[in-house]
Amino acid sequence: MKFERAEIRETDIITCAACGHNLGTMASIREKMKKAYQRLKQPSAARKLQ
Ligand SMILES: [Zn+2]
C-alpha cells in the first residue's frame, strides 16, 4: 500500500498495491481486522462456556 500522506484517516479508501482493487475505507479494514483478531482470541470452545 502506498500513501500520499503520513497521516492515515479513517475515511481514506485503501487500494490493493498488487492489483489496485478497492479494499474499502481504513475504518472498515480496521473493523474487519479487529473482528478477526477477536475470533482468534475466542475459539468456539471458549465461547460455549459463556
Ligand atoms: Zn489485490
Of all helices (H) and strands (E), which one includes residue 14? Answer: strand 13-15
Q: Is residue 5 part of a domain?
A: no
At residue 49, the pLDDT reads 59
Domain count, the chain: 1
Torsion of CA 16, 21, 26, 30, to 10 degrees: -80
At residue 7, the pLDDT reads 84
Q: Is residue 37 part of a domain?
A: yes
Structural domain containing residue 20: 13-48
Query: Which protein residues have their CB within 5 A of the ion that is ligand 1?
Result: 16, 18-19, 21
- Estimate the share of the chain in helix, then strand, then coil, as percent rounded to the nearest 5: 40, 15, 45
Q: What digits encode the pLDDT tens for the residues 1-50?
A: 665 667 889 999 999 999 999 999 999 999 999 999 999 998 775 566 56
CA 22 to ligand 1 center in whole angstroms: 8
24, 13 Cβ separation under 8 angstroms: yes
At residue 2, the pLDDT reads 64
pTM of the model: 0.59
CA 30 to ligand 1 center in whole angstroms: 17
